[in-house]
Amino acid sequence: MDWKNRNAIPGIALREKAYWGRGYGTAAVRTALRFAFQELNLHRVELEVVADTLRAIRCYEKACFVREGTRREAIFRDGRYNDLLVMAVLAGGPA
């Protein structure tokens, strides 16, 4: 949390594959965003996501996150360097 600038960076994971594809992730993200904007009065919520995790990216896009940029080869995972997408949603946008 960055209270001065009213920003937050969440940590989000739905690791159990049995629950993937059921909308739980999107519902959880939307609920967290409502809390962030309505209760905490934040202005911005941002995150980074590995560029090849398409399910996660789609979940964030459904929750109104917008792609803002790419951190090229920023993380080493599964034996190779991976890009990270920077995504954010601002207060006043749909959540």
Q: What average pLDDT does the segment 38-61 reach? A: 95
9-42 per-position pLDDT tens digit: 988 887 788 877 888 888 989 999 999 999 999 9
Question: Per-residue DSSP letters for 5-65?
Answer: TTEE--------GGGTTSSHHHHHHHHHHHIIIIIS--SEEEEEEETT-HHHHHHHHHTT-
- Owner of token pair 């209270």: 3
- Sign (positive/negative) of CA torsion 34, 63, 19, 22? positive
DSSP 93: S
pLDDT of residue 94: 56
CATH number of the domain bearing residue 69: 3.40.630.30
Is residue 2 a part of any domain in this protein?
Answer: no
Is residue 1 a part of any domain in this protein?
Answer: no
pLDDT of residue 62: 93
Domain that holds residue 82: 7-90
pLDDT surpassing 70 at residue 74: yes
pLDDT of residue 42: 97
Is residue 40 a part of any domain in this protein?
Answer: yes
Total domains present in the chain = 1
pLDDT surpassing 60 at residue 95: no
User: Distance (Å, rounded) from C-alpha 88 to C-alpha 86?
Assistant: 7
pLDDT surpassing 80 at residue 71: yes
Q: Are 64 and 89 within 8 A, CB to CB? A: yes
pLDDT of residue 10: 87
Is residue 95 a part of any domain in this protein?
Answer: no
What is the residue type of 11? G
Query: What is the pTM for the complete model shown?
Result: 0.87
